[in-house]
Amino acid sequence: MTHNTPTLSGKVVFIQGGSRGIGAAIAKRLARDGAAVALTYSQSAQHAEILVQEIQAAGGKALAIKADSASESAIRGAIQQTLSTFGQLDILVNNAGVLAIAPIEEMSMEDIDRTLSINVRSVVIASQEASKHLNDGGRIINIGSTNAERMPFAGGAVYAMSKAALVGLTKGLARDLGGRGITVNNLQPGPVDTDMNPENGEFADSLKQLMAINRYGRAEEIASFVAYLASPEAGYITGSSLMIDGGFSA
């Protein structure tokens, strides 16, 4: 590798939920680091297309695929489409997630099922499908949440449960795939300024009081941690849930 070769040159990434927010920042960063990027979305076709054009205009390779993470066949189909377009798979990023906040007495069965379906079941399905194809030395990177370990307000029980499930899943998958040099990790962001959790939203001021660094994180800061975990340098980190939360859980 020459000094100027990008760290992910020749690698192929599949990002589940990559059209907006943290997922879009990850797509841009990994493309900048040299990877070909396939990303899924369920609703935001326009965001996905603009992002793909932006990556291509910067000289990168990108593909947007409409695939609802609530659908097993859509997830498996999107991974197959990535393989047929780019010819291989090296890195899976499970980013798609939803946040439903309500007192437990009032939370609908629909919201409970949807949270588990998008935040947990889709991660299992994508990991299973990707595992069949990931090259040796590959990567699975889940986007969990600091709320897996600290949920400092009411109404977030089901969301916290869904992100805590990823802690165990990550450990088990690390054991399943370690023999192939594939690492599996779970990044746990604190509040990050996105459509899901805008820095000017109703919870923002109280959340900032809970952090050692009293500001929201930027999606690009999460993406740079993902880029490190995806890189060859991070080959000895696996099974870990890693906080990137401005000290929210400190």
Between 22 and 164, name the residue whose CB sits nearer to ligand NDP: 22
Type of residue at 121? R
By beta-carbon proximity to ligand NDP, the closer residue of 118 and 230 is 118
Q: Is the dihedral of CA 243, 161, 152, 94 positive or negative?
A: positive
Query: Among residues 23 and 138, whose Cβ is nearest to ligand NDP?
Result: 23
Site string for ligand NDP, 148-177 (x = CB under 6 A): ------------------------------
CA distance 100 to 107: 8
Minimum distance between the CB of residue 117 and ligand NDP, rounded to whole angstroms? 8
Contact between 69 and ligand NDP by CB under 6 A: the answer reads: yes
User: Is 246 a residue that touches ligand NDP (CB under 6 A)?
Assistant: no
Structure tokens at 94: 């499970």
11 contacts: CB under 8 Å, gap ≥ 6: 34, 35, 36, 90, 91, 230
**Catalytic residue (one of 41, 159, 216, 228):** 159
Residue 41 designated active-site: no
Query: What angle do helix axes 45-57 and 21-32 make, rounded to 10 degrees?
Result: 20
x/- contact string, 85-124, with ligand NDP (CB under 6 A)?
A: ----------xxxxx------------------x------
Pick the piece of the chain touching ligand NDP (CB under 6 A) from 13-21, 76-84, 168-176, 230-238. Answer: 13-21
How large is the angle between the packed helices 109-116 and 157-177, nearest 10 degrees?
Answer: 20
User: How open is the CA angle 188-192-198, to the nearest 5 degrees?
Assistant: 145
Pull the structure tokens for residue 237: 């980190």
Instruction: Give backbone dihedrals phi and psi of 182, rounded to 5 degrees, phi first.
Output: -90, 125
Total site size for ligand NDP, rule CB under 6 A: 30
Among 30, 32, 41, 227, binds ligand NDP (CB under 6 A): 41
Binding site for ligand NDP (CB under 6 A): 17-23, 40-44, 68-70, 95-99, 118, 143, 145, 189, 191-192, 194-197
Which residues are designated catalytic?
159
